[in-house]
Structure 1
Amino acid sequence: MPKKRNQDPNTRQTWNRASLQPAQQHSAAKLDQTRDGEKPVPELTQEKESSSPLSVEMDKCDLLQETQESVDYFDDIGFPETNVALVVEDKKIHVNKAVLSKHSPVFNAMFYGGFKERTAKEIKLGNKKAKDVVEFLRCFYPNMKHAITEINVLKVLPLAHEYQSPLVDNCEKLMISKCKQGTGLTVTSLLDYIIAAEKYDLETFLDTAVEFCSHVDFDLLNGKTIQRRQSRYDNYSRHWIYDDCVQEDKEISSKFLDITLKTRHAISVERLQVLEKNKRKMKIGEQNEEDYHMILHAINFDISLYT
């Protein structure tokens, strides 16, 4: 993390500008002149060969906010020089071949095998989002190594699988860790994880998810919730009569049907075993195991993938 600078206007001019990289000098000058009410310094033109380990051309991409923090973060002198650009959604992401090749056998074959990419200065990656590619790279790039979280796991996993990255294991471990009570896992996220696990052959997670789902009401997994509402007042009994109102979340019910029949069958079998176990407990007076309490969607949760 960049060190906090002294915000006193009488002392901020004591920065050692000579020790800063050109991009840092430019950002510092902009910061000073903006505070003084002057016109900001014009933007610098990004060079093709940069000392940044992972840089995105600012005139073509807004992935990185141009703040003093981001400049310090990406212009560390200890990073390897960039020597190739990945072009995603017409945005250039400057990277180092050796770093990518060491992490991924696919990149290694691309850069050092008998393919045209071996001598190319720019390599176009189709059918991908630039933000997802940047986040994937940040998860293994030197001095970055962002953690896999519930926020980025479903963005990183497809790319990790495509490029045969060890991050696939990290993604699976994160998903497994969420299949517990008290983690805040929602039904929609659970189904998203299962669909992804089926697509990318995450068998260990699928086993964990099936066992977890066996403790969740089957209607809830289908997006159905039951709410009781007052129907009418019975004058004879002097009580309100309540009806059960079934509400269905179409998005969740559709996701549940996207799960393969094999996995849905496995969940059903495990669920029946849990119900039978509870039935036997009732006969001998033991307390039943309560179902896991889950909500369908995250409430008031603004997902900001890359901040």
Structure 2
Amino acid sequence: MDNMDIKDKQDTSVEESTEIHPTEIRPPTLFLPHDVFLVVEGSQLHICKQVLAEKSPVFEQMFQSEFKEKDLTEIPLPGKKLKDMVEFLRSFYDPETIRPITDDTVFTILPLAEEYQVSKVKERCVHFITQTLQKAIINEIQRPDLHTLLKYISCAELYNLSSVLPLAIIMCAKYTIKSLTETSLQTPVSGETHVKICTERTKLTETLTKERIEKGNNNL
């Protein structure tokens, strides 16, 4: 990220803790002033208040209201992971180096986009998931595994992603009820959604059975 520096306060290499090449996180900064540190897992993300405030209402309120963070030069983010925050910031902070949402990052970035109310990043995450499911439904790409589909559903229920839920239900219905039950123990979904998946599965089974019967009659 061209306009964000990362410094480690404990003399351990940032590259080791984040597995990010140093040229990607420590390029020269020419334009944006850096006036605050986000402290994550003992490391400092040196960023510009104005940029974060413009992108995130949460940071805007933090920097411009009577919150204690308003005048701080270091803002601790307890409970956050350095690698996750770097990935999140790279999704919107610097327009010149914005990274795409991928299978590997969507489940990391979406919760942070929701928490910090970065609406454009949330929209990009939703678009990525929706497009993935639409392509899978028409067999343009390989069908996501059931664990991933249930994580899509979990996100859809948690963050009210109305465009994602019905598509994920359709894809889950292609798996057996046994597989669904076993996998949902690891990635729980609501009882209502579970019923919808089972109903969709029943419809799919009936349709396939009918097609096989009609195909058999035509071959007589």
Return the TM-score normalized by structure 2. 0.82
Specify the alignment match of 1:277 in structure 2: 207
Query: What corresponds to 1:157 in structure 2?
Result: 110
CA RMSD in angstroms, aligned pairs only: 2.4
Distance 1:106 1:153 in 2: 20
Q: Which runs of 5+ in 2 are unaligned?
A: none
Q: Give the one of 248, 255, 258 matched to 2:186.
A: 255
1:171 is displaced (CA, Å) by: 1.2
Q: Percent identity?
A: 30
- 1:63 aligned partner: 14
Higher helix share: 2
Shift of 1:151: 0.5
For residues 105-147 of structure 1, what are the alpha-carbon distances to aligned partners after superposition, in whole Å with 9 as ceiling and x for unaligned? 1111111122221111111112211111111001112122111
> Over residues 178-222 of structure 1, what are the superposed CA-to-partner deviations in whole Å (9 max), with x where a residue is unaligned?
221433522222222222222222121111101222223323333
Q: Residue 38 of structure 2: SS of its match in structure 1?
A: strand
Cα deviations by residue, 1:15-38 (Å, 9 ceiling, x for unpaired) = xxxxxxxxxxxxxxxxxxxxxxxx
Whether contact under 8 Å (1:139, 1:145) holds in the other structure is yes
Please state whether the residue corresponding to 2:163 is helix, strand or coil. helix
Task: Give 1:168's aligned residue.
Answer: 122
Q: Counterpart in 2 of 1:137?
A: 89
Q: Which of 51, 69, 73 lines up with 1:121 in the alignment?
A: 73
Distance 2:49 2:57 in 1: 12
Q: Distance in 1 between matches of 2:25 and 2:84?
A: 19
Asked if structure 1 preserves the Cα contact closer than 8 Å seen for 2:9 and 2:42, the reply is no
| 1:70 Cα deviation from its structure 2 partner | 3.1
- The residue that corresponds to 1:198 in the other structure is 157
1:8-47 paired onto structure 2 within 5 Å: none
Secondary structure of 1:93's match? strand
Higher relative contact order (CA 8 A, sep 6+): 2
> When the two structures are superposed, what TM-score results if normalisation uses the length of structure 1?
0.61
Q: Is the 8 A contact 1:86 1:122 kept in 2?
A: yes
Letter in 1 for 2:7: E
Aligned length: 205
Q: 2:47 is aligned with what amino acid?
A: V
- Aligned with 2:186: secondary structure? helix
